[in-house]
Amino acid sequence: MSYFPRWRLGTGQVIMPDERLPGAASVPMGIQHLLAMSGSTIVAPILMGFDPNVAVFFSGIGTLLFFIITAGRVPSYLGSSFAFIAVVLAVLGQEGATIAHALGGIVVCGALYALIGLIVMAVGYGWVERLMPPVVTGTIGIAIGLNLAPVAVDQLNAFGSPTPSHLTIALLTVLCMAMVSCYGPSGTRRLSVLLALVFGYGLVLVLGNGLGIMPGIDFSAVGAAEWFGLPHFQKPEFHWSAITLIAPVAIVLVAENLGHIKALGAITGQDMDRYIGRGFFADGVATMVAGSGGGTGVTTYAENIGVMAMTKVYSTLVFVIAAVVAICLGLSPKFGALLQTIPAPVLAGLSVAVFGLIASAMARIWIENRVDFSDPRNLFTAGIALIFGAGDFTLHLGGFALGGIGTSTLAALLLYQLLGFGRKG
């Protein structure tokens, strides 16, 4: 069997991963997947203070790496991971810290993730499920979302100087995202972040640039930017204070990718389990590459599973097209300058919605896996770890400091194993 599939032309209503669409149909399908990812891939880096152009560029590079390492057999697009937002902002809140410090932590997180992938490739993934059962992964994910609550509130309050127009735009952006998610057609629901961004942006154009009742959007940088050019790459710097905060995110990424590949196996009817190790390794390598050049950590996304389930097109070649389009957009400084014009109140509204969804979406892990909270082992594991994460408890050991997400992760992992000694069930 060849390394890559031969991608025969699909003729049925369902296009499998090793099949392809006609060329004319493949391009719009690839762009549709890119659109489904655009909200997260654009919003996440902006909220972290990263250059969105670089993040979009490396999302395309990461997707191509994932495609090659998984032998073109796992349909996935890699976009900026929301799981990094809390820890990156925690790093940037440290005295003297810069984006370069956060990038170093992202690279190490990717290396840890890739190492987990290599181990899974060698011995299987059963140990992952034993070490990180749903109660642990769900708790860590929720703690990351709750840890971001003060950041979202600060943005909503315009860092102590809220105005009626700022609050109005922010809250209407939140409401738009919620309304689209609840009442929009199935196709638009997956674009709720992007549509809320466009809605809030339009409000500022009308109320600011048009009516002049609030600060408008300045397009001078967009006009001055070139159409094509290299993104502003940045080198990482490695500091333990940043590494200890960011590296534990690898555990959340493992949980996300494991669920993603299992879901793909369910909807395609193909056994994807043999690619779980490769998927972890590919995602880790892509995160290392992105962090080495100034991009955010990347992960697979449920939005793309939704698009595949709706269209019944699972061809992996579609994601190559999406990746190439993303790389082209990343090579346009004018596109990046346009992204930088997104108004502060719109970002504030997106922060409230997105950060809350990180916590609530991770709670689904508990529900879908029927975690039994009448069991004290689960109750104490979740309760203590959540307090550490939400309260941003920092553990100081000499010159070594472990931030809120790190202490929450460590507590969840250790407590679950410690409270399991001697138990029969």
Residue 399: per-residue pLDDT:
57
Give CA separation, 26 vs 29, 56, 305, 306, 405, in Å.
5, 21, 17, 17, 41
The angle formed by the CA atoms of residues 14, 26 and 12, to the nearest 5 degrees, is 20
1 located within any domain: no
Locate tokens 């097109």: which residue?
313
- pLDDT per residue over 269-311, tens digit each? 788 888 899 999 999 999 999 999 999 988 886 666 666 766 6
Q: Is pLDDT at 21 greater than 60 in this prediction?
A: yes
Give the integer Cα–Cα distance in Å for 260 and 262.
Answer: 6
Locate tokens 């990343």: which residue?
330
Q: Is 69 exposed, middle or buried (0-12, 13-18, 19+ CB in 10 A)?
A: buried
In this structure, of 19-33, 58-72, 109-123, the range with the lowest mean pLDDT score is 19-33
230 located within any domain: yes
Percentage of the chain lying above the pLDDT 90 cut: 24
Region 162-185: what's the mean pLDDT? 87
- pLDDT per residue over 324-360, tens digit each? 988 998 898 888 888 788 888 888 888 788 778 777 8
425 located within any domain: no
Output the six-digit token pair for 229: 């050019």
Give the integer Cα–Cα distance in Å for 13 and 340.
Answer: 41
The answer, as to whether pTM is greater than 0.75, is yes
Q: Is pLDDT at 220 greater than 90 in this prediction?
A: no
424 located within any domain: no
Q: Is pLDDT at 3 greater than 80 in this prediction?
A: yes
Going by C-alpha positions, the residue among 342, 149, 138 that lies closest to residue 255 is 138
- Can you give the residue range of the structural domain that contains 141? 8-418
Q: Is pLDDT at 161 greater than 60 in this prediction?
A: yes
Query: Quick one: pLDDT band at residue 61, thresholds 50, 70, 90?
Result: very high
Q: Is pLDDT at 202 greater than 80 in this prediction?
A: yes
Q: Which residues are CB-neighbours of 394 under 8 A, at least 6 positions away? A: 401, 402, 403, 404, 407
* Number of domains the chain contains: 1
Q: Is 314 in contact with 13 (CB distance < 8 Å)?
A: no
Residue 1: per-residue pLDDT:
66
Residue 234: per-residue pLDDT:
92
- Classified as helix, coil or strand, 423 is coil
Average pLDDT of the chain to the nearest whole number = 84
Output the six-digit token pair for 353: 């919605």
- Which residues on adjacent β-strands are paired with residue 401? 396
241 located within any domain: yes
The angle formed by the CA atoms of residues 346, 351 and 250, to the nearest 5 degrees, is 140
- pLDDT per residue over 79-128, tens digit each? 888 778 878 888 888 888 899 999 999 999 999 999 999 999 999 888 88
Residue 39: per-residue pLDDT:
63
Residue, of 149 and 281, whose pLDDT is higher: 281
Residue 248: per-residue pLDDT:
84
- Classified as helix, coil or strand, 367 is helix
Query: Quick one: pLDDT band at residue 402, thresholds 50, 70, 90?
Result: low
95 located within any domain: yes
342 located within any domain: yes
Locate tokens 């070490």: which residue?
131
Residue 294: per-residue pLDDT:
92
Region 9-36: what's the mean pLDDT? 78
Q: Is 78 in contact with 253 (CB distance < 8 Å)?
A: no
216 located within any domain: yes
Q: Is pLDDT at 237 greater than 60 in this prediction?
A: yes
Region 58-71: what's the mean pLDDT? 93
Q: Is 354 in contact with 82 (CB distance < 8 Å)?
A: yes
Residue, of 304 and 137, whose pLDDT is higher: 137
Output the six-digit token pair for 142: 């929720």
Q: Which residues are CB-neighbours of 104 under 8 A, at least 6 positions away? A: 236, 237, 238, 239, 242, 243, 291
